[in-house]
Amino acid sequence: MKGYRLMSLGNNNTSEVKHVTTIEQLFSNADYYIRTIAYLAGAFAITVGIFNDHYPQSAWYMVTFAIIYPHILHAILQSSNIKRITTSRFIALHMDAIYGGVWLFWIQFSLAPSILLITMLSFALIVAGGIRLLLTGNATLIAVSFILSSIFGFKFVQHAPLVVSIAYSIGTMVFLSVAAYYIHIQANMLYNAKQEIECQQSRANELALKMSKYLAPQVWQTIFSGKKDVALETQRKKLVVFFSDIKGFTQLSDELEPEVLTELLNQYLTDMCDIALKHGGTIDKFIGDSLMIFFGDPTSEGTKADAQKCVAMAIAMRKHMKVLQQKWSSQGIKTPLQIRMGINTGYCTVGNFGAEQRMDYTIVGKEVNLASRLESLADAGEILLSYETFSLIKDTVMCRDKGEIQVKGFSRPLPIYQVVGFRKELGCESGYMEHQLDGFSMYLDEEKLQARDKERVLAALESATAKIREQVEFESNDPFKELIDDGNDAVNTQTAKVHSLNGKG
């Protein structure tokens, strides 16, 4: 991790973190400071040993080397081309292990100082690289000590003077304290970096969710999963293309207030899109009250399955329009809005069209134009199919032959078919029925009716039946009805006489 930036996802501005120190620089500086403390602790212990005549005067060379070595090593690593902190740490700690082996040999493996030296080195190794680095580092230290002992002879001093052991202990304590302090700083910085990354990811997810509403879910999932690159590229695929619009919507738009019209249209499109997504359709675009949907890309279960799902979607939309009509009627919208639909199957060009700055994932081709033409020819509540689509769904869907049409781009007349409904729903056991008159509307779809709602439906039907029966009985027994009818007959007779006299005159 080479540091991090605070990204302003709501706009195009990027604000850099004010401080220059990155996480990598912190690790590098911490290693440098901790190493310096460790070598100063060793230099302090040797100095104490020199003043107590435990070490010879030549040990001042060791003191001098211990003081300057950390700075030399740090400068070399900084000027090198080593970019990964783990690599530079590995090199530096193994250099420390080599020097530690020399040090152990020089102090003649004195018990207390040796234990403290190995403790400091092991602590640094395991913090920096875990068990693997601990094993390789200590193996290096032992190997160097063994080689030097083999060449110059092994010497062992069991006990160092108390004051020297105390000096080593103080140095070790200072080293561990400083190391723990920097580990604490690193942990805090890593925690803050993690929090910042999680915050940015959350904001990025929120932004992605908002942007996803401008794409079909299948396309969005394909892009964000990495399965598809965002590039200007297309391909030829056999697709099932669907068009729909609301017949009479233009007239209605002139009658309604803009706010009411917007609410109505958004509700209609929302419900239709829910149905489309439920059946696996890829929503291409909205054009006013028109919908363009296709099946077969980016995912497909085969052309036949795609066609069956598309026709099932169209039938579901036609049924759902009855629900919307009742709702709109209760809101005072009396214009009987009906959906009309056209479906065609054929090879289309699908992919990203446009420019690098702005792309549109869509389909083009004469098969698309034919689907649009079928939609414009359909009557209210009608679903028209091309022969290619009809041949794929005729086993499960009942259709009527509607003759042939001539379409621009096609050399011969094209047969078209009207969808009646699913064959399984057209028998006496059909679970779907509807009936509509002025002042009365009923729509029943048993597949969607929940078990818990059936009692409520029965109660509503019984209440409506009782009210209608009461009204019919009242009208049939009304004593004034005969008088009113006789009065109407008399008026009609007099009117006829007047017209007759006028004719004679």
Q: Report which of 191, 269, 274, 242 is spatially closest to residue 4, judged by C-alpha positions.
A: 191
Tokens at 343, concatenated: 């479906």
pLDDT tens sequence across 22-39: 555 656 677 888 888 888
Q: How many CA atoms lie within 13 A of 134 on its CB side?
A: 10
Q: Virtual CA dihedral for 319, 321, 325, 328, nearest 10 degrees?
A: 140
Tokens at 505, concatenated: 């005159």
> Mean pLDDT for the chain?
81
Write the DSSP string, 90-121: HHHHHHHHHHHHHHHHHTTT-HHHHHHHHHHH
Q: Report which of 219, 239, 382 is spatially closest to residue 307, judged by C-alpha positions.
A: 239
Of 8-22, 209-223, 249-263, which gets the smallest average pLDDT? 8-22
CA distance 17 to 20: 7
Q: For residue 413, what is the DSSP state?
A: -
Of 13-22, 383-392, 404-413, which gets the smallest average pLDDT? 13-22
Confidence of residue 184 (pLDDT cuts 50, 70, 90): confident
Q: Residue 482: pLDDT above 80?
A: no
CA distance 38 to 32: 10
- Tell which wins on pLDDT, 80 or 140: 140
Q: Please give the pLDDT value at position 19.
A: 42
- Tell which wins on pLDDT, 60 or 410: 60
pTM for the model stands at 0.57
Averaged pLDDT for residues 158-187: 86
pLDDT tens sequence across 242-258: 999 998 888 888 888 88
Q: Please give the pLDDT value at position 248.
A: 80
Instruction: Kindly list the distances between the CA atom of residue 128 and the CA atoms of 2, 30, 118, 373, in Å, as whole numbers in the listed order.
Output: 17, 11, 15, 70
Q: For residue 444, what is the DSSP state?
A: E
CA 232 to chain centre: 22
Instruction: Please state the φ and ψ torsions of residue 163, each to the nearest 5 degrees.
Output: -65, -35
Tokens at 178, concatenated: 């400083």
Q: Residue 494: pLDDT above 60?
A: no
Q: Residue 96: pLDDT above 90?
A: no
Q: Residue 238: pLDDT above 90?
A: yes
Q: Please give the pLDDT value at position 56.
A: 86
Share of the chain above pLDDT 70, in %: 81
- Tell which wins on pLDDT, 274 or 473: 274
Averaged pLDDT for residues 41-57: 88
Q: Please give the pLDDT value at position 290.
A: 92
Q: Residue 273: pLDDT above 90?
A: yes
The CA-CA-CA angle for residues 72, 77, 126, to 5°, reads: 100
- Most confidently modeled of 69-73, 265-269, 307-311? 307-311
Confidence of residue 386 (pLDDT cuts 50, 70, 90): very high
